[in-house]
Structure 1
Amino acid sequence: MGTLKRVIDDIVDLRAIGGRSDIHPDEVLQKASYEDKIPSSKDEKRVLLLAIDVQNDFMENGSLPVKGSHADVQNLIKFIHSNAGGISKIIASMDTHTYYQIFHPSWWIGKDKQHPEPFTPIRLEDIENGTWMPVKYEKHSRKYVEYLERNAKKTLVIWPYHCLLGTFGNSLEGQFANMAYYHSAVRDTDFEIVVKGTSPLSEMYGIFKPEYDEGVEISTGLLDRLSDFDMILIAGEAKSHCVLESLLQILEYYKDDKPVTENIYILEDCTSSIEGFEDETEKVFLGLEKDYGIKRVNSTDLKL
């Protein structure tokens, strides 16, 4: 496979992960123009890198920090640089929210007329006894919490305001973005971005559909495209939530298609769980390895 001429430090600043990048994308793309093109259209083995929510608010100094995220992003950037000629395409998701959403403090109010603190769980019994009440969409909100409990979904948790549309926290982590665009220019393929989570009425951990999709038409376009690839690599934040739910949605869609599910690789050193969810997440992944044949590897052990 073709390799990049420029050393990694000439493209990104790994010391600046999680902060504002002093390296402008225009500078990055100018440098990429001097590389020998490696058109992905000529790849015999099609490899997709699916980067979940590699955004500033999930970095260790962000609004909803994931411990280990800086190391995850550093490993991911190094992997892209070392395997640029083997990665056919990069698709990144971006969690994107506004002030009034069902998982934000603004949506709920307590008996004392105060909004809940971040990380407060909202259960059906809390609504029924008046501990927490929605400030709008009362019928839907109750039905939503009831649906989560009835279907053994994650409990509704009030998250800190994060990834608010148009803010720095909403943006892709700058060094990752620069490397992804550099790869795009060299491989002559679009770096695609999928925006998720804009509906005020539901959480949307996975890329492909919200947690509660009653009355919502689910687009399967991206899911259908996954079968075009010989290998699907998954990384990003957080392993316990958006990475896991995205994976579960893929496996649900391709549950009878082992050639797809057995070619899914989780880059273990490029993703971390939210603290407190590690053991539960590990149990789920062990089951998915057994049932669907997914692989878990360190990026340093995978050469494309």
Structure 2
Amino acid sequence: MSKALFIVDVQNDFTEGGALGVQGGDAVAAAITRHLEAHADDYAVIVASRDWHDAQGDNGGHFHHEPDYVDTWPVHCVSGTEGAEYDPALSTDAVTHHVKKGQGEPAYSLFEGVTDDGESVAHLLEENGVVDVDVVGIATDYCVRASALDAIEHGRHVRILTDLVAGVAPESSDAALAELAHAGAELAQSGA
């Protein structure tokens, strides 16, 4: 039985100054780096995901010039751009697998992406006997939520490290954490 860490979408476009920057994103990036420095050896698998949208087209309706911020969004995390890169405060030295999601379509959960070798996250978990998953990253109320719910659906025990996530808005982030707890996720601090 082993453990995985999911680092969800800690990218320039989701941290301060980005196309969809969230308050506290840079601080979360730095805090995740500190967590990795102290705890990387606790994890058999460390997966970092990135939105990685196509430069051409609307990515299956995901991009819109008048976004509703529910199903449609401004252009963000376009493959090969600075906005799609990891936040500079996030060290990815300990990351074992990088996942890109949303290529040509909307995608919120890192389970919708694939590694650079074309492997799915579900396959990685099975292959490595992962039972427990810690989830950190951006945004609590969207991609962190979707990734954690999918991990629960795949039969994993999930902990949301609440001091290592940042959301779009306090109300929707609180609602997402409540939903995750109701679904069976444990809400914990990274030092716990």
Structure 2 counterpart of 1:272, from 160, 166, 176 = 166
Please report the TM-score for the alignment, with normalisation by the length of structure 1: 0.55
Shift of 1:273: 1.1
Q: Secondary structure at the match of 1:175?
A: coil
Q: How many residues align?
A: 183
Q: Partner residue of 1:59?
A: 15
Structure 2 counterpart of 1:104, from 46, 63, 80 = 63
Verify the 8 A CA contact 2:140 2:176 in the aligned structure 1.
no
In the TM superposition, 1:1-304 aligns within 5 A as 46-97=2-53, 98-101=55-58, 102-105=61-64, 115-116=65-66, 120-121=67-68, 155-157=70-72, 159-176=73-90, 179-181=91-93, 183=94, 191-199=96-104, 202-209=105-112, 221-226=120-125, 228-254=129-155, 260-261=156-157, 264-275=158-169, 278-292=170-184, 294-299=185-190, 301-302=191-192
**Whole-Å separation in 2 of the counterparts to 1:155 and 1:170:** 20
Structure (1/2) with the larger helix percentage: 1
Structure 1 counterpart of 2:71, which letter?
Answer: L
Q: Secondary structure at the match of 2:174?
A: helix
Shift of 1:54: 1.1
Shift of 1:220: 8.7
Verify the 8 A CA contact 1:103 1:203 in the aligned structure 2.
yes
**Whole-Å separation in 2 of the counterparts to 1:274 and 1:287:** 16
Q: CA RMSD in A?
A: 2.4
Structure 2 counterpart of 1:196, which letter?
Answer: K
Please report the TM-score for the alignment, with normalisation by the length of structure 2: 0.83
Gaps of 5+ in 1: 1-44, 106-114, 122-153, 185-190, 211-218, 255-259
**Whole-Å separation in 2 of the counterparts to 1:234 and 1:271:** 8
Verify the 8 A CA contact 2:133 2:151 in the aligned structure 1.
no
Q: Secondary structure at the match of 1:50?
A: strand
Shift of 1:224: 4.2
Structure 1 counterpart of 2:140, which letter?
Answer: K
CA distance 1:74–1:220, change in 2 (3 Å): closer
**Whole-Å separation in 2 of the counterparts to 1:221 and 1:161:** 25
Max Rg structure: 1
**Whole-Å separation in 2 of the counterparts to 1:77 and 1:220:** 25
**Whole-Å separation in 2 of the counterparts to 1:203 and 1:167:** 18
Gaps of 5+ in 2: none
Shift of 1:85: 2.6
CA distance 1:48–1:73, change in 2 (3 Å): same
Structure 1 counterpart of 2:21, which letter?
Answer: P
